[in-house]
Structure 1
């Protein structure tokens, strides 16, 4: 049983090394990684901006509610 586990780990390690080295040396994969990273950063920035806008809108709504309660 232990021998099978060791063999599995060796095969997994070798396959992982081949895949990682193959992808890291691939210009197409590098372009894909750069484009994906940029898109994720753009989406993250847009989400942060939207979050700020919604927080500001919630403050305004809260102020309006308080204003009408005081009447």
Structure 2
């Protein structure tokens, strides 16, 4: 079992370097990060009203009453 594990480790370890995106010759690598902080100018608020009634008409009336009282 140890030979199988060792073989699998060596096989997969060789694949790590085969899939690099960097070239073998001289190159420049640039990474960066930016942040922009501004005051918010809009707010989105989502509200949900749910009613469980026997009939759909009773549920609609209940929801309408809750929304109108809000």
Q: TM-score range by the shorter chain?
A: 0.3 to 0.5
Under a length normalisation based on structure 2, what TM-score does the superposition of the two structures give?
A: 0.37
Which is higher, the Rg of structure 1 or of structure 2? 2
Under a length normalisation based on structure 1, what TM-score does the superposition of the two structures give?
A: 0.37
By relative contact order (CA 8 Å, sep 6+), the higher-ranking structure is 2
Higher helix share: 1
